[in-house]
Structure 1
Amino acid sequence: MKIQRFLFSVCVVQLLLMTGSCSPYTPQADYGQIEKTVDSIIKPYIDSLSIAGMAIGVMREDSIIFSKAYGFADLEYEIPLPANASFQIGSITKQFTAVGIMQLAEKGILDLDENISEYIQFEHKEYDPTIRQLLNHTSGIRGHNNLPGFRPLLMREIIRDTMVRLVEKEPFDFEPGTVMLYSNTGYVILGLIIEKLTGQTYEEYTTEHILSKSGMDNTFFCDRTAIRKFRAHGYNFVDGGKYRAEEPYYYWTYSAGALCSTIEDLLKWNKALHDGNAVLNKVSYAELIKPGQLENGVKLSYAKGLQRYRKNGREVIAHGGSGSGILAELMYFPEKKISLVTLENSYRRENWFAIADALLDELIPVTLDKTAYEGDLSILQGTYEGNWQVRIENADNHLLIENESATIDTLSYLGEARWSFKGNEYFFTKGKGGEQYLHMDMIYALLSFTKKE
């Protein structure tokens, strides 16, 4: 869902920014032009109640060039969504946690390549991952949310170290550094490390050293019972029905996803983080946004609390958030110093690919496969084994992929020996022994498949 959500957001950005044949707008497009087109995209979903509400904000350098809310903050009373509404932002919280860790590294308080047991009690019988591996989701620590032993703790605010005691007894999902698999557990542990090393609660540290320094006066730690003005209520759209979303247990989403914020504050944050030294110096910032890599040298799209990759020809640094009744996306396009944030108080199961395709067709007409792969595609075809079996075929100089569902799809060539389909990217590498690998980069996970001989 997070990858699908990104497709919509990038459409809006390209509408606002692209020049030439891909967009009817120049970089100087006025507010009225932008509003008219964004209205035409969003309002049909609002009018049909396909979504409850959405707020959108765009900043170019220091100036907010578009900010508007659509739909409702509360469906029962039909209360319009204000532009300054606050939303849960889910996993966008992770970049604040990553910045907190980088601040401590900047001060020499911790080392990214040190094992986590140096900073927090962690006694696993086999592995001891590093801080860096927690940051880029390559630690292998089993997720706590699905452990039977964690469920009785969900409604209780006991010390969070209890969760660590649970996961350290579990086998790892993989050897640290060998696979990338998105992990909320890793970011909860990072929050605990911040507390251990600073003597402050995670909330106190983040407020003093990150939010205050960024001028984020309307960002706060979500609470299930507190009354907040202009807070959007979340809704789940599932099985053809609309349901008021249950509030998450923020005590446990914690440093992995417990922040609430607004369009304006998140634009302030992108300015403070990406275009200044309000929270990190230049060296630490460069390390923050540097994509990780696996032990075998395969590079990731995930850095530290942020993804960094190219989409539709433009570099993007981004992260999304999703959960009970919310979808959020925060992106930064460094080449143009453009920030985009979208916050939505709906969580849908409908086909977001169809929505994204409609937006792309209308706003960003492109011709796929503009460049041709110059190598021999026939050496890439074959059957690959991994989490499931994948078949690659070469047909008329195009790669076809057949997954476990037995559907056959055409991969679009992106250039630089990478292909894409529905938000995922595919590339091939060779091992030291000549073995052929297919890698599926889902941004939030990197899966590898080995070619059968």
Structure 2
Amino acid sequence: MTLAATVAPLLPPVSTVAAQTGSAVPDQPATGPMPRPMTREDLEPFVDGIMSQRLERDSIAGAAIAVVKDGAVLFEKGYGYADVERRTPVRADQTLFGVASISKTFTATAVMQLVEQGKLNLDADVQSYLDFPLRKDFPEPVTLRQLLTHTAGLQENGKDLLEAPETISDLGQFLRSHQLPQIFRPGSRVAYSNFGNSLAGYVVERVSGQPFAAYVADHILKPLGMAHSTFAAPVPADLAPLMSKEYKLSSEPPRPVEYLARRPAGGMYSTADDMARYMIAHLQDGAYGDARILEEATARTMHTIQWRARPDAPGIAVAFYQSAANGRFALAHGGDLSYQHSYLWLVPSERLGVFLIFNSSGTDMVRIRSAVWQSLLDRYLPPAGPLPEPAANAAQDARAVAGAYLTTRRAQTTILTLFSSLGTVDVTAHPDGSISVAGLTRYDGSPRTFWSDGKLMFREHNGEGHTVTFVTGASGRPDVMVVDSIAEYERQGAFNGHVLALLLAGAVAVLLAAALLWPISTLVRWRLKRPLRETMPLPVRRRRLAVNGVILVALVLIALVAIYVQALASLDLTVLSVRFDPAMRVFQVLAALVCLGALFTLWSAVIAWRRREGSILSRTGLSLVTLSLLVMAATIAGQHLLTPSLAY
């Protein structure tokens, strides 16, 4: 789960609606003939080989895939188990999975239905559709187009991510009570937002007069015959027995079913077969058999790029984002719950759609999805032609963009700001003129490398055709990085997450050393038959004891942070719920004591040096402790750890 972004617009005025009109499949290169025809007879054994190997090697319990081509299901199949203990196999037409963020495309489809009916306007102030005041931190209105392209300027919003099925909240009430400050001017940044998409879903609910789940069922699922799909929470009784279990590893017990409070953004359950119908409808501009969920013009608008960081960069359509497919234009969306992971790709020029889902995280879920997709591309849709050679100034461009960057999908004003600030991503320039971006690896684990086209657009030459685009700010320096289309990062200065991490690590090391020296120094004095305590006046001894108390409080705080981080890493999302608020307050009390203690320790150190109390060595140690506590105090204050609000 990601907790994720900063300041004013640095992009040139490309407009949030960079392509309201025009081709639904822009910038599509001419494609050559497929060297290997995609047939079920060839596809099935090929996918069988990949999936059987991957499931066993990566400890995945079960998976399903659906491939559609030319308006029909070409291939769909389940692999492994929906329930390991009962040996229940995955069935493509019956086993329900949580499709997570792919749900956002259903929310967008519902919005577009109401747009074509004249009930909604993508560019109207969304406040006009709401029954509660939407928090605004900039004068510009927030629009549905911005909500559906993640450009509304919202910061990461993760509290109460999951809900128990017996306590599912009202969508409107939930959104009203979980608002956070905007951190970007609307239309200036891409900052992926579950809250924003859920807000669009609530607009559907408000304008249609139906609960969101009921509206989607009546106007999308039923017309397409998606009888095994639902946004309802809990899942209806007739579908509940068909739900796949969720696993971290196939060898471990199943985890509880996850119900997202922000349901329009990630709460749908479906089967591979149902998702095949959905892909066909979008590939056919809203039509599926005799049914139509969108008019052709509306569907084309939905598939048209609405936002680009710059005119020649990949962009975001309405909910779908532009993806890489060996040089061909593709629309895609991924989905991740704690343990269920999915992806959907549409390649309009080939009338091809692929849906892939796993019910386990396994040992490396990110690369598994990439491996399956890349394998399919290389076999059936190899690169249409050679990519341009790297520009003559590629090495110069690489050096210009190298540095530290921070995602725009971040917490910036909440108690979890620190975790976002430490998530700095490095761009490294290599001697051959290429760059690599930390965390971007190919399915075989090797780093993806990118070469400049001479205009700060870096293209991958040994993979699917991913891009890393840089945008210059007013200074003429590359200030913004966009990976493909949906992941945006801002350049950081000399003081960045790496520096903060080093300072905090140093502070922790000093405080631990100080705490360990107490028993060690006592033991040494005992062995040398010296007084167990250094002789000093009572006021001095009391100040030293107080400083020792501050050190202990700081170490307890550090230990609690470590436990919290470990809980997040193990996907224990109860630490992101209101039930954890009392523990957060205890955490804040300790943090406040550290801040006050740091000031007291600074005062003690100044007095010690002025009065020459104790040895030079002990005063130097006290000074190091003081600096360490001041680093902690500055971090606590600067990273909003004492904010009164526990909204995050």
Maintained 8 Å contact 1:430/1:437: yes
2:300 counterpart (274, 281, 286): 286
d(CA) in 2 for partners of 1:61, 1:98:
24
TM-score (norm 2): 0.58
Correspondence for 1:411? 449
C-alpha distance after superposition, 1:251-298 (max 9, x if no partner): x13211222212221111122222044122232222212223268768
Maintained 8 Å contact 2:320/2:332: yes
- Following superposition, the deviation at residue 348 of structure 1 comes to 2.8
1:136 counterpart (138, 149, 156): 149
SS at match of 2:294: coil
C-alpha distance after superposition, 1:22-78 (max 9, x if no partner): xxx324x3x333222212111123445711111222121133221221111110111
Query: 2:487 aligned with 1:445, yes or no?
Result: yes
1:235 counterpart (239, 246, 249): 246
**Structure 1 stretches of 5 or more lacking a match?**
3-16
SS at match of 1:32: helix
Deviating more after overlay: 271-280 vs 260-269: 271-280
d(CA) in 2 for partners of 1:175, 1:429:
17
Correspondence for 1:221? 231
Correspondence for 2:321? 307
- Following superposition, the deviation at residue 189 of structure 1 comes to 0.8
SS at match of 2:60: coil
2:70 counterpart (61, 76, 95): 61
Correspondence for 2:429? 393
TM-score (norm 1): 0.80
d(CA) in 1 for partners of 2:210, 2:143:
22
Between Structure 1 and Structure 2, the one with more strand by share is: 1
d(CA) in 2 for partners of 1:265, 1:287:
24
Correspondence for 2:122? 112
d(CA) in 2 for partners of 1:151, 1:57:
28
Correspondence for 2:34? 19
C-alpha distance after superposition, 1:301-333 (max 9, x if no partner): 322221123321222112122213312222221
Rg bigger for which structure? 2
d(CA) in 1 for partners of 2:312, 2:327:
21
Letter in 2 for 1:91: S
C-alpha root-mean-square deviation of aligned residues, in Å? 3.7
- Following superposition, the deviation at residue 389 of structure 1 comes to 6.7
d(CA) in 1 for partners of 2:296, 2:390:
37
Correspondence for 1:266? 275
Letter in 2 for 1:439: M
SS at match of 1:242: coil
d(CA) in 2 for partners of 1:18, 1:414:
28
- Equivalent residues in 2 for 1:39-438, closer than 5 Å: 39-47=48-56, 50-84=59-93, 85-120=95-130, 121-127=132-138, 128-146=141-159, 156-168=167-179, 170-224=180-234, 226-228=237-239, 231-237=242-248, 242-250=252-260, 252-277=261-286, 278-293=292-307, 301-350=315-364, 352-353=366-367, 356=370, 364=378, 371-380=388-397, 381-382=399-400, 383-384=402-403, 386-387=405-406, 388=424, 390-393=426-429, 395-396=431-432, 398-401=433-436, 411-413=449-451, 417-420=457-460, 425-431=467-473, 433-438=475-480
Letter in 1 for 2:449: L
d(CA) in 2 for partners of 1:208, 1:176:
32
Correspondence for 1:9? none
Percent of aligned pairs with the same residue?
22
Distance 1:390 1:320, change over 3 A: closer
SS at match of 1:180: coil
d(CA) in 2 for partners of 1:171, 1:445:
20
- Following superposition, the deviation at residue 101 of structure 1 comes to 0.9
- Following superposition, the deviation at residue 83 of structure 1 comes to 2.7
Distance 1:304 1:320, change over 3 A: same
d(CA) in 2 for partners of 1:242, 1:442:
35
SS at match of 1:100: helix
d(CA) in 2 for partners of 1:201, 1:358:
37
Maintained 8 Å contact 1:59/1:65: yes
Maintained 8 Å contact 2:450/2:468: no
- Following superposition, the deviation at residue 141 of structure 1 comes to 2.4
- Following superposition, the deviation at residue 156 of structure 1 comes to 3.4
Distance 1:418 1:285, change over 3 A: farther
SS at match of 1:161: helix
Between Structure 1 and Structure 2, the one with more helix by share is: 2
- Following superposition, the deviation at residue 203 of structure 1 comes to 1.7
C-alpha distance after superposition, 1:80-107 (max 9, x if no partner): 2223122221111111110111112212
Maintained 8 Å contact 1:86/1:230: no
**Structure 2 stretches of 5 or more lacking a match?**
3-31, 287-291, 407-423, 441-445, 495-648
